[in-house]
Amino acid sequence: MRIGIITFHASHNYGSNLQAWALQTYLEKRGHQVEIINYRSFIQKSIYFKPFDFSSRYWYKYSLLSSMKRLLLYPSSFKGITKKWNLFEDFLKKELNLTCEYNTREQLCNASFNYDLVIAGSDQIWNYTNETSSVFFLDFLDPAIKRISYAPSLGPTPERVPIDYLKRYLCGFNAVSVREERSKEYLISNQIIDNCEVVCDPTFLLDAEDYESLISDEPLIKEPYIFFYSPTNLKPSYFEIANKLGKDMGLPVYTDRAYYPKDINKYPYIRNSFEVGPKEFLNLVKNAVCTIGSSFHLAAFSILLKKDFYTINGDKDSRTNNLLSKLGLLNRVISLSKPTLYEHKSINYSVGIVEQVGSYRKKSLEFIHKYV
């Protein structure tokens, strides 16, 4: 079967890149021909432009402003920012089966897609507070092409997405799945669709061994360490918690970048590292003694790679909370309201947790196999 996938594959975010790779890889393992529809809107490109890239006709509007902002915020790390950009773009070009690039809905409508099936998802492609676009509801496709969604999110507040809007675009789907119970409840209770499944993030469709092709044999950091990653909400309290964990475990805490704010120096256990792309991210998770942060995908890959981990304020993130609740790992949450209350115990990745991960994956595979 020829399958197209549309998602936020090109965000310079480890989770976005790796969830796209995981869904592509799983479908390829089942013998399908798979492509990522390379839709990169100008809004997205404005966020992830190469610093001072003058090759595009939009550099003056996007790259220049973005570059000046970054240069002012991190004057000593501009070279590193460029390196990080290159690591992400290299991953996209080498690891994802990309179509030619499309920047507008009009370009997609004028294209000819010879797919048997197109999958919308995963990631927050239906989050109304993000760059919600009818493109991610596949309205550019020939009506004859079968379409399903796999684990998209309506965001933390699904009720922000207008009911009529969803009814208009979801009526053409052959099947709908989402990644959160709250999204399913909103779709069903408002009679937007009749049936909906909650499925796992695409990263859980694969086993740890499947990611080995992306991870170099050599650890990037040669000493025992804790890996800290928080894509957003870089409040001082996050650094304080990570620093305390380093002190309690007697280990340095390495970040995923070389340009955190200058006042990071007041945390004696935290170390700025180097620029990290998706492959380097997996290497740092795999070889860490423990991980800590506020990222769902940091927790996900820590579980897949059987690492000790803590998630900061994970009880406030419905996606992380759902995952940890299913696996009986809510004790790995560190709450900002009680930052000193957490257990210094290693996770026993016994048969129980392995079975829970298998059960979590099984229902999702059944959904895929029913329509693919």
| Mean confidence (pLDDT) of the chain | 88
* Gap between the Cα atoms of 216 and 31, Å rounded: 26
With contact defined as beta carbons under 8 Å apart, do 139 and 169 qualify?
yes
Q: For residue 262, what pLDDT band results from cuts at 50, 70 and 90?
A: low
Q: What percent of the chain has pLDDT over 70?
A: 87
Q: Is the pLDDT of residue 55 over 80?
A: no
pLDDT at 71: 63
User: What is the rounded CA–CA span in Å between residue 312 and residue 310?
Assistant: 7
pLDDT band at 132 (very low <50, low <70, confident <90, very high): low
Nearest to 151 by CA among 93, 197, 208, 211: 197
Q: Return the number of other C-beta atoms located less than 10 Å from residue 301's C-beta.
A: 26
pLDDT for residue 103 = 93
Choice among 141-155, 249-263, 321-335 with the minimum mean pLDDT? 249-263
- pTM equals 0.92
| Residue 206 in this model has a pLDDT that exceeds 90 | yes
In one-letter notation, the amino acid at residue 7 is T
Q: All domains of the chain, ordered by start, with CATH?
A: 1-206+351-371 (3.40.50), 216-341 (3.40.50.2000)
Report the pLDDT averaged over residues 348-362.
88
Give the span between the Cα atoms of 368 and 350, in whole angstroms: 28
Work out the pLDDT band at 341, boundaries 50, 70, 90: low
Tell me the three state secondary structure of residue 279: helix
> Is residue 30 scored above 70 in pLDDT?
yes
> What's the rounded mean pLDDT across residues 170-198?
95
